[in-house]
C-alpha cells in the first residue's frame, strides 16, 4: 500500500478591510488578510500539504505570485488543482487536518461551515476533513494579532489498480 503524507504551512498578515477568507468561508472580522490571491491561509496550507505528499512543490510552483492572472484569485482554484493532480497521479485523499492559529477572529463558530466547504471543493465526505483552531497565547505575530498562520496535513493513498 502506497501512503503519502504531506504538510503545509502558510501565514498572511492583516490589512485594512472587512472579513477574512478562511477555508473557503468569509469570516466576519474588522480586518482582512493581505495576499496576492484571496489570502485564504487555511486553504493555502492544505493545498501545499497535498502538493507535498505528491512531491510536487508548493502553490508558488503551480501558481506563481509573479503571474498577474492570479492576483485576487479564489483559493479554491489552487486546492482543486492539487486534488485533481493527486487523482491524475493515481492517488485519492484519505483525510486532511487544518489548524488555524489566531487570537481573533474566533474560528469555532465557523469550523463546521469550513469543513463543509473544503469537503465540497475536494469532493470528500466531511468526516475526512478536520478544521480546528488554536491561539498562540498572545505570543508572536499571531498573538499580537498581526496575522494568521495555518498548518495542514494531508494523507494520500494510491488508488488500487484492477
Task: Report the alpha-carbon distance of residue 25 to residue 146 in Å, rounded.
Answer: 20
Would the pTM count as exceeding 0.85? yes
Task: Report the alpha-carbon distance of residue 41 to residue 100 in Å, rounded.
Answer: 8
CATH number listed for the domain at residues 3-158: 3.30.1330.50
Task: Report the alpha-carbon distance of residue 4 to residue 2 in Å, rounded.
Answer: 7
Is the predicted pLDDT of residue 119 greater than 60, yes or no?
yes
Band of residue 162 on the pLDDT scale cut at 50, 70, 90:
very low
Bigger pLDDT: 3 vs 160: 3
Is the predicted pLDDT of residue 150 greater than 90, yes or no?
yes
Band of residue 2 on the pLDDT scale cut at 50, 70, 90:
very high
Over residues 9-28, the pLDDT tens digits come to: 999 999 999 999 999 999 99
Amino acid at each position: 500500500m502506497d501512503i503519502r503524507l504531506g504538510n503545509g504551512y502558510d501565514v498572511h498578515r492583516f490589512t485594512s478591510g472587512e472579513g477574512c477568507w478562511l477555508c473557503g468561508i468569509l469570516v466576519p472580522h474588522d480586518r482582512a488578510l493581505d495576499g496576492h490571491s484571496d489570502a485564504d491561509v487555511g486553504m493555502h496550507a492544505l493545498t501545499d500539504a497535498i502538493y507535498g505528499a505528491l512531491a510536487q512543490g508548493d502553490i508558488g510552483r503551480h501558481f506563481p505570485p509573479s503571474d498577474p492572472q492570479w492576483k485576487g484569485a479564489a483559493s479554491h482554484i489552487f486546492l482543486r488543482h492539487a486534488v485533481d493532480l493527486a487523482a491524475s497521479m493515481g492517488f485519492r485523499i484519505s483525510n486532511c487536518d487544518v489548524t488555524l492559529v489566531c487570537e481573533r477572529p474566533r474560528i469555532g463558530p465557523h469550523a463546521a461551515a469550513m469543513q463543509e466547504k473544503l469537503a465540497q471543493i475536494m469532493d470528500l465526505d466531511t468526516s475526512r476533513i478536520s478544521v480546528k483552531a488554536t491561539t498562540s497565547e498572545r505570543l508572536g505575530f499571531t498573538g499580537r494579532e498581526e496575522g494568521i498562520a495555518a498548518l495542514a496535513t494531508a494523507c494520500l493513498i494510491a488508488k488500487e489498480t484492477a
